[in-house]
Amino acid sequence: MDKQNWEPKIVAFVCNWCTYTGADLAGTSRLKYPANCKLIRVMCSGSIDPVFILKAFERGADGVLVSGCHPNDCHYNAGNFHARRRWDFFHKLLDFIGIEKGRLQFSWISASEGKKFADVITKVTEDIKAMGQFTSYKKMNSEFTVDFPADLAELEEPVLQESFDKETVK
């Protein structure tokens, strides 16, 4: 992909009760934010495993956001406290081995903070855009990969592209 057209791929792991609902509120309030980020709903921020983040990077994510209820507001009382400890550690570890803080960001967004949700997504997207592609990880991903011959590859991406092209023709 060339640099100019590059759009970051961002994954957000969010808890069902606060951040997901906050995102719903952002929607009902018709707040606008970039479309780069896709949400994966889990029940509680306490249930997000660090491996999820690595998996996201392995699948080409340029950035990851983890978000849950504010401390003391957890639907399950304490899940986010455990999460916070986990992320404190994991973030230090990633930082040490060379993954910048901006690649993996964290927030607390309550169900009433639709605005904050939109702001956070915007900020994360901008941060990642400023950092550029996560090339160092992607380099690892591309080891042992192969380009399928063009005549064979009538699959996913091209199909997607094609359907957009049709749109422009219309």
Residue 169 as a binder of other proteins (CB under 8 A): the answer is: no
**152 lies in the site for other proteins, by CB under 8 A:** yes
Nearer to other proteins, 31 or 129 (CB): 31
Closest CA to 137 of 45, 77, 62, 25: 62
Query: Cα–Cα distance between 161 and 8 in angstroms, integer?
Result: 17
Q: Is residue 33 near other proteins by the rule CB under 8 A? A: yes
Name the 3-class secondary structure at 41.
strand
Residue 40 C-beta: closest distance to other proteins, Å: 5
Residues 36-95 touching other proteins, rule: CB under 8 A, are 38-44, 46-52, 54-56, 58-61, 71-72, 74-79, 81-95
Q: Which helix (H) or strand (E) holds 26?
A: helix 19-28
Shortest distance, CB of residue 162 to other proteins, whole angstroms? Answer: 10
Structure token digits, residue 120: 């956070």
What letter does residue 134 receive in the DSSP assignment? -
Residues of span 105-134 touching other proteins by CB under 8 A: 105-108, 118, 120, 123
